[in-house]
Amino acid sequence: MDLFKKCKNQEQIKLLREKNVYPYFHMLTSKQAPEVKMEGKDVIMIGSNNYLGLTSHPEVIEAGVKAIEKYGSGCSGSRFLNGTLDMHLELEAKLAAFLKKEETVTFSTGFQSNLGIISGICGRTDVILCDKENHASIYDGCRLSFARMLRYNHSDMADLEEKLKTVDQSVSGILIVTDGVFSMGGDIAKLPEIVALAKKYGARVMVDDAHGLGVLGEHGRGTAEYFGLENEVDIYMGTFSKSLASIGGYMAASREVCEYVRHNSRPFIFSASITPANVACAMKSLEILEREPQRVKRLAEISSYMRRNLKRDGVDIIDGTTPIIPIYTYTNMRTFTACKLLFDRGVYVNSVISPATPVGKSLLRTSYMATHTEEQMDRAAAHIKAVLKEIENITD
């Protein structure tokens, strides 16, 4: 009996390193940008969630520096006790106004946001309906809540309704939770149908808009704005680590729901608050998003340009309209090899294998920034096409 026995038997990791195709933990020595310095190489970055390209924006950097100078490096406590700064409240007020909700609550990470919201609002006598392709943090939030979780097939509204029919109406409450933009496939939730089913069966709706904020909608407010359903979603969740160029997360909801979560969410109550620099960077990024909505339009344009580029070259992609463009490589070893060959050619992409995708549907997850250029896309697409040709005969 040895708890650590499993730590000695990591054969797949050893094999990937022996074959020199291990795709994880590449070392960056530059800012997140359209092109970065990674492992000493200049590479086109098409594996980042820096959708609006704000992580290297001079105003964002300046805001972070000034916040450290004024408040120091950290808050040394939770929001519940000594860790609430005036800038936390300012950010929450600005987010609420932007998202057209009564209030927001901020969390120290995006992952923690889903843990804190779902476990704070749901309990043992509640039922949660969860899309099978929802983010891992949603699943962990459901587990932490101790509510009954029913998983429905990905974006399958008939299956969602069948699951809703099985729920005993004597339960305390029902929550339907879905990603707005699914992080691996890049597809958009069928929010109009979800809202209609929620009304029919007396459920509440929560949308994880981590990949929707700054991406969808005329003003970048996300999935609900995209569908014209901003008054129909009960809870928005989002992160600062993507379009808002920082780290942290939030929920936006009614005043009474936010107040309840502040006083009942263990991940919120027992975690140190977001650092001053991160708050300042998120707030400045939000200001730039509001001031420059053309960044949202530009992001859509560069994503469409790359999608057309890949399709023209016969690359097998998952079609869509978001800046997430997954490219099928099918087997694990082909996926890892493709990542390595692309990196060697100066292009960084993410490898995605089972269980993040179904077995036999491994893929390269590529994602784009409003600050990418067409010339960078042309270079990246040419390398992708060449590498996919090179790995055609590789099997696991």
Does residue 97 contact residue 238 with C-beta atoms inside 8 Å? no
In this structure, are 103 and 114 located in the same domain?
Answer: yes
Looking at the domain assignment, is residue 105 inside a domain? yes
- 273 tagged catalytic: no
Same domain for 239 and 110?
yes
Domain identity same for 78 and 225: yes
Instruction: Flag whether 365 is in a domain.
Output: yes
Judgement on whether residues 88 and 214 belong to the same structural domain of the protein? yes
Q: Are 223 and 312 contained in the same domain? A: no
Find out whether the peptide bond into 58 is cis, omega within 30 degrees of 0: no
Nearest to 104 by CA among 319, 275, 274: 274
Adjacent-strand bridge partners of 249: 107, 239
Considering the domain architecture, whether residues 78 and 27 belong to the same structural domain is answered as no
- Same domain flag for 239 and 383: no
In terms of domains, do 221 and 354 share one? Answer: no
User: Would residue 154 show up in a list of annotated catalytic residues for this protein?
Assistant: no
| Structure tokens belonging to residue 100 | 């057209």
12-39 residues labelled b (16+ CB within 10 A) or e (exposed): eeeebeeeebbbeeeeeeeebbbbbebe
| Per-residue pLDDT at 340 | 97
Catalytic residue among 88, 101, 242, 284: 242
Total number of domains constituting the chain: 2
Let me know whether 217 and 99 are in one domain.
Answer: yes
Assess if residue 395 is contained within a domain. Answer: no
Q: Give the separation between CA 117 and CA 133, rounded to whole angstroms.
A: 19
- Which CATH number fits the domain that encloses residue 47? 3.90.1150.10
pLDDT of residue 396: 67
Evaluate whether residue 396 is within a structural domain.
no
The catalytic residue among 57, 135, 211, 372 is: 211
Which residues constitute the domain of residue 328?
5-56+293-390
In a domain, 244, yes or no: yes
pTM: 0.95
Q: What is the mean pLDDT of each run of 10 residues along the chain (396 residues)?
A: 89 91 95 96 97 97 98 96 97 98 98 98 98 96 97 98 94 97 96 98 98 98 98 97 98 98 97 98 98 98 97 91 96 95 97 87 96 98 96 80
Q: Is 211 a catalytic residue?
A: yes
* Alpha-carbon gap, residue 323 to 282, rounded angstroms: 21
Tokens (6 digits) for 303:
């994503």
Same domain, 309 and 368: yes
Of 264, 291, 318, the last residue of a domain is: 291
**CB 106, CB 100: distance < 8 Å:** no
- Among residues 237, 270, 291, the one where a domain terminates is 291
Q: CATH number, domain at 67?
A: 3.40.640.10
Which residue in the list 113, 155, 183, 271 is annotated as catalytic?
Answer: 183
> Distance between CA atoms of 221 and 353, rounded to whole angstroms?
31
pLDDT given for residue 365 in this prediction: 97
